[in-house]
Amino acid sequence: MKKTITISQLFPAEVSAWDEDEKERRAAAGREVLERIRRAGRNSSGTVRIPPGDYRFPGREGILLENLRDISLEAEGATFWFSSEVTAGVHFRNCRNVRLSGLALDMEELPFLQGTLLDVGDVRLVIRLEEYFVRRFHGQRDQDHFRLMFLDAAGEHEIDNLDFIVPRETLSFDAAGNLLVPVSEPVARHWRYQLRVPRPGDRIVLGMRHEGGMLLVDGCETMCFEAVTVYASPCFAFYESGHGGGGNTYRRCRLIRRPGTDRLLASAADCFHSMNQRRGPLIEQCEFSWAMDDLVNIHGYFHVAVEQLAEDELLIVTPFGTGLRPGTELTFFSAPYGREKFRAAVASRLEIAGSEQEGLRRVRELYGRRFGMVLQNFPGGSLCRIRFDRPLDTEPGDFACDYDSCGSGAVLRDNDLHDCHVRGILLKAADCRIENNRISRTALNGIILKPEFFWLEGPMPRNIVIQGNTLTDCAFGHTALAAILVMCGCCAPPADRITPVVNAENITISGNEIRNCNAGSGIAVFNSRHPRVSNNRIFHPFSNPAAIGRLDVSSRLDFSGKELSGEEISRLRESYSAILFLGSDAIECRHNSLTDPGRRCRMIVYAGPGCSGCGEQTDAAADRGL
């Protein structure tokens, strides 16, 4: 029988040895497990014990479990194996109070390529791929792009953070069978400001991402996942969606590279992604690592008003379907800068059937025409006629958020988050706590509170506590601004500029320890009302001397009509502070310390343009903690 194309350094030896007959036996065992779980669900049985062993679930949807209630699935020692096209590994749909423990999830074909850099030039890379990955490249012809990630020669740490995405049609092989990857001028320029640029002998990963979730929790509530491990995922490793009640628990779960293998990556996308949940998750004692996107992203969506139909009625587009219902309170903001306008409650809703693509088209056209903004191509955008409990005054493009459908109340504590190609924790919600986590080696921010308007991901963060965390080597790429960042993210093009609009509220950042930040300040707080920053210990900010001249925050200002003096801009350009405030009101900042062996910081705290109410530690005479 023909054996699976693999190498022993990437898979357990027994899995590498499977022939077609053995694969079918494992698939039959998987079908039997699925039937046992479904039968237990129909009979309201309390516990299903899945024997240790390997089970196969081929196809796009591996295992679908619907409408389960009050049941426990114990799977210690069991591994579920999925094929390369999987978009939903273990898919819970409309379930409540289900506990899953001990299960491992893995893939028969890895969702990435990996190899070794032979040559690094200003116009191209030369990469030697292992034989298995050459075959993966040629076998996965529907993969139209690849995302690159660079690691040191031992494969232990990432060395560069720039989003380097190449279309398939630009790749080729030379006569020796090496992969040739073009390098654009911005990429080559970026490398000049990194502490450690790619060089021959380094390892490299090319991610092969597609949509979906390995553990997909769809329209569920009060679920409990304990000691669930994901070793490989082409999509979100843990994914909450479907306008669920939420309030799910993830305890001692892991996304890690499979031990005993030479794998360089675990997930080609986010590790944990939660959207549109009425209550946020509890994530505790988990280890999340080696993802090619964010380790944690919790959010809802902005709803866009495209037309005012009557004084109390709007035509609104809601991304990814709608969870709006009578009584839902929406907070409205003006476009494109996000200044809060008013709040109104939904009185009635009429969803226009078959309007998903039309809704998306109208929003993209509206923002392109009015503001020159290009939104991402999010799937679905339901058009709804919404009547409210009061008269409204809106302009086309104004947007609203629903704090009841964004994962509010999330708690992340006592987790180990490390080795991430983008951000550690990205939070867009309210009433959340981020406590006592260890976050290390993230290419961009370790913790960031920031809506992402080009995805329409919101809402504005409010009532968030960030306390007792240790961040080490976060923002090792020089473009991230800070290890902990609070920022609005809503502006006219170009994206990601800093505005004076205040729309985040009551952000507490206390008792954290931050060690090494190439990107600049340890903590940066923008666009916030009553932020409280206290008792943080910051060691070695601005730790990349090559990038010092590239960290001019003043070049990213968009104060739209608020002319800044040359003196203000000059002071901001030269501030180099461990803690930076911009566009914020009623600031409380006290008892923070700085250890700065490079003596690059001129002050502990700088409160720049658009700020008011900052008391202690705002001048260069403050205790530097040296």
Distance (Å, whole) CA 225 – CA 202: 37
Query: For residues 623 and 617, what is the distance between their CA atoms, to the nearest angstrom?
Result: 8
Residue 13 CB contacts under 8 Å (≥ 6 apart), including other chains: none
Task: State the pLDDT at residue 561.
Answer: 63
What Cα–Cα distance (Å) separates residue 326 from each residue in 61, 311, 349, 431, 518?
A: 34, 18, 7, 23, 48
- Write the pLDDT tens digit of every residue in 294-350: 999 999 999 999 999 999 999 999 988 778 999 999 999 999 999 999 999 999 999
Strand partners, 246: 221
What is the Cα–Cα distance from 449 to 546, expressed in whole angstroms? 27
- Spatial contact of 507 and 449, defined as CB atoms under 8 Å apart: yes
Question: Which residues does 468 contact at the CB level (< 8 Å), separation at least 6?
Answer: 435, 436, 510, 511, 512
> Is the bond leading into 494 cis (omega within 30 degrees of zero)?
yes
Q: Taken in order 560, 492, 296, 404, is the CA torsion positive or negative?
A: positive
The first and second tokens of residue 207, run together, are 């991610």
In the chain (626 residues long), the average pLDDT of successive 10-residue segments reads 53 93 97 95 89 96 95 98 95 97 97 96 94 94 94 92 89 97 90 86 95 96 98 97 96 97 97 97 98 97 95 93 90 94 96 82 92 80 92 96 95 98 96 98 96 92 98 89 93 86 96 92 96 97 79 80 76 86 95 90 87 58 39
Q: How far apart are CA 292 and CA 161, in angstroms?
A: 10
Element (H, E) at 368: helix 356-371
Cβ atoms < 10 Å from Cβ of 23: 18
Residues contacting 570, CB < 8 A, separation 6+: none
Q: Which of 442, 438, 449, 450 is nearest to 475 (CA)?
A: 442
Q: How many residues does the chain have?
A: 626
For residue 388, give every residue at least 6 positions away whose Cβ sits within 8 Å of its Cβ, in sequence order, or none: 312, 313, 314, 330, 344, 345, 346, 347
Cα distance between the two ends of the chain: 68
Do 332 and 340 touch, CB atoms closer than 8 A?
A: yes
Q: What is the pLDDT of residues 86-141, one digit of tens each?
A: 999 999 999 999 999 999 999 999 999 999 999 998 899 999 999 999 999 999 99
CA distance 343 to 329: 7
Token pair, residue 24, equals: 């079918």
CATH of domain 13-109+210-293: 2.160.20
**DSSP codes, 514-574:** EEEETTSEEEEEESEES-EEES-EEEEES--GGGGGG--GGGGB--TT-PPPHHHHHHHHT
pTM: predicted TM-score of the whole model, two decimal places: 0.95
| Torsion angle in degrees (nearest 10) through CA of 383, 273, 372, 335 | 70
> How far is Cα 135 from Cα 177, in angstroms, rounded to an integer?
12
Q: To which residue do tokens 């403050």 refer?
A: 622
The whole-angstrom separation of Cα 512 and Cα 534 is 9
Distance (Å, whole) CA 345 – CA 483: 37
Rounded to whole angstroms, how far apart are CA atoms 97 and 72?
Answer: 9
Three-state secondary structure readout of 582-619: ECCECCEEECCEEECCCCCCCEEEEECCCCCCCCCCCC
Number of Cα atoms under 13 Å in the Cβ half of residue 489: 22
Handedness of CA 411, 413, 418, 424 (dihedral sign): positive
**Spatial distance between the Cα atoms of 373 and 399, rounded to a whole number of angstroms:** 14
Beta bridge partner(s), residue 181: 125
The whole-angstrom separation of Cα 397 and Cα 185 is 35
Distance of CA 3 to the CA centre of its chain: 37
Tell the residue number behind the tokens 């109340």, with chain if given.
409
Q: What is the DSSP letter of 2?
A: P
What local confidence, expressed as pLDDT, does residue 7 receive? 62
Q: What is the pLDDT of residues 129-163, one digit of tens each?
A: 999 999 999 999 999 999 999 999 999 999 877 77
DSSP letters spanning 198-248: --TT-EEEEE---SSEEEEEES-BS-EEES-EES-BSSEEEEEESS--B--
Q: How many CB atoms lie within 10 A of CB 277?
A: 32
Cis status of the peptide bond prior to 451, with omega within 30 of 0: no
CB 298 within 8 A of CB 361: no
Instruction: Give the pLDDT of residue 573.
Output: 79
Per domain, the residue ranges of the chain are: 13-109+210-293, 112-207, 304-401, 425-607
In whole angstroms, give the CA distance from residue 335 to residue 337: 5
- How high is the pLDDT of residue 549? 66
CA distance 323 to 303: 11
DSSP letter string, 60-107: SEEEEEES-EEEEEE-TTEEEEE-TT-SEEEEEES-EEEEEES-EEEE
Neighbours of 555 (CB within 10 A): 12
Of 519, 437, 420, 512, residue with least CA distance to 476: 519
Rounded alpha-carbon distances, angstroms, from residue 420 to 71, 112, 146, 232:
34, 15, 17, 15
pLDDT at 8: 66
Sign of CA dihedral 199, 204, 210, 214: negative
